[in-house]
Structure 1
Amino acid sequence: SRYDWILFTSVNGVKYFFKRLHFVKKDTRHLKGIKIGAIGPGTAAALMDMGINPDLIPDKHWAEGVVEGLKGSLLNGKMVLLPRPVIARDYIPKKLTEMGAIVDVTEAYQTVKPEYSQDQLHMLFKDSEIDMITFTSPSTVDNFLALLKGRSIFKEILKAKVACIGPITAQRADEKGLKVDIVPDEYTVDALTRAILEFY
């Protein structure tokens, strides 16, 4: 109850925050008086499933949108909790701190490489035609390409179309040498799926 805001930047953030809350024998009643922010409609829907109607859903569904959405709030001296993945940009905590907020970052979950060997992935691309690769975060780009390190299969990947959930993920893919074909207007998995269907 010492927090003024809790900001969720993903569905996973919601999932693991409430898993932890329930583990310590607490529930949504302990969030009374705290304002809740959701980065986008998918995260907002996950909160609503928990019985919480977010106070903030920014028009732009990425970190910059969250900060923009809070600019009208008086954050000086306010306590903000930010549950997020282990690997994440520091944009939100940095900007909110500049606005006078006291930001607590808690690592709610971690994105890890799948249990695929390099050989398995190599055979997957070699023996079948992959039409499209989808990425849902910068870390999925990094983890995917780490599995291909030093492999000639990279040229096969360049033949596939690439779909990214949002501009930050697309930027990471571009930095790694991938041509991005699809970025939906709304940065959710549902919107990404629709954009892929429309593409074909």
Structure 2
Amino acid sequence: MNPLEGKKVLVTRPSSQAGGLLKRLERAGASPLHVPLIEFQLHESKENERILSKLHDFKWVFFTSSNGVKFFFEWLQKMKENFPAACQVAVVGEKTKKAAECYHLLVDFTPSEFQAEKMAEEFFHSYEEPGSILYVRGNRSRDTLLNEFKNRSILFQSMTVYDTLLIKESAIIGKHLNSLDAVTFTSPSTLQAFLHSVGKNRETALTIPCFCIGSTTADEAVKLGFKKVYYPNVFIAEEMVQQLVNYFSKEG
């Protein structure tokens, strides 16, 4: 019998990004419950217009999410600007790299591990004097890389291209909370939205096995009080599903 057979697993990813994870869970025998807890929208800003009008001044553009790539190019289209051929591109991982390549960007740097700390360490090992950097982000992105730029006296500009919005209407979760076998999270924002949605049932929610896509989200889960937190060595959805399979193979 498949270890995930009949297991009800909550998926909190936005509808636009949940398809792959839902299919993988279903193929593994699980019964996924999809309740999107966040959504994304273009971040409107006069500052972004100013930055993009001088895009050719930057030597590097850093992308730390596929959303950053998507909304950055929405901004480019809005401004009728092209990506400068001379500008180099750094991405945090394979998913972000694929998103960049969809817009015909040549990716010059990807770290060996999909996290900001490793990205900073390996990038500056290879490029001690990289020149000016444009850091593309969402409104809830961490400041890990920005702090690294400051500490190294790197010339940089931060550009917020999208906003992450928490969806508060999620009564479905309360209805199914006691029957959930596991919950999955792909960002700290989904964790925060989940705990907001469960309200007075927080203590019950914190006892459900919690599977995160990476160490940043897992650290936030621990900080928020989840009792059982797991994340894979490789920060991708396929490996998170494998972690679920491994867990229930042991736990039953």
**Superposition misfits of 4+ residues, deviation over 6 angstroms:** none
Contact 1:170–1:180 (Cα < 8 Å) also in 2: no
Partner secondary structure for residue 110 of structure 1: strand
Aligned residue pairs total 192
User: With structure 1 as the length reference, what TM-score do the two structures score?
Assistant: 0.87
Find the partner of 2:128 among 57, 74, 77.
74
RMSD (Å) for aligned C-alpha atoms: 1.9
Matched to 1:8, the amino acid is: F
Q: CA deviation at 1:189?
A: 2.9
Contact 1:167–1:183 (Cα < 8 Å) also in 2: yes
Show CA shifts across 1:76-127 (max 9, x none).
Answer: 6x2111111101221101111222211211111122112424x44322314x
Counterpart Cα distance in 2 of 1:105 and 1:155: 38
Q: CA deviation at 1:148?
A: 2.8
The 1:102/1:138 distance shift into structure 2, 3 A limit, reads: same
Counterpart Cα distance in 1 of 2:73 and 2:147: 25
Q: Which protein, 1 or 2, shows the higher relative CO under an 8 Å CA cutoff with sep ≥ 6? A: 2
Counterpart Cα distance in 1 of 2:157 and 2:238: 30
Matched residues, percent identical? 24
Q: Does 2:134 align with 1:134?
A: no
Counterpart Cα distance in 2 of 1:15 and 1:199: 34
The 1:191/1:20 distance shift into structure 2, 3 A limit, reads: farther
Which residue is equivalent to 2:155? 102
The 1:12/1:187 distance shift into structure 2, 3 A limit, reads: same
Counterpart Cα distance in 2 of 1:47 and 1:130: 36
Contact 1:141–1:173 (Cα < 8 Å) also in 2: yes
User: With structure 2 as the length reference, what TM-score do the two structures score?
Assistant: 0.70
Runs (5+) with no aligned partner, structure 1: none
Runs (5+) with no aligned partner, structure 2: 1-55
Q: CA deviation at 1:181?
A: 3.7
Contact 1:173–1:180 (Cα < 8 Å) also in 2: no
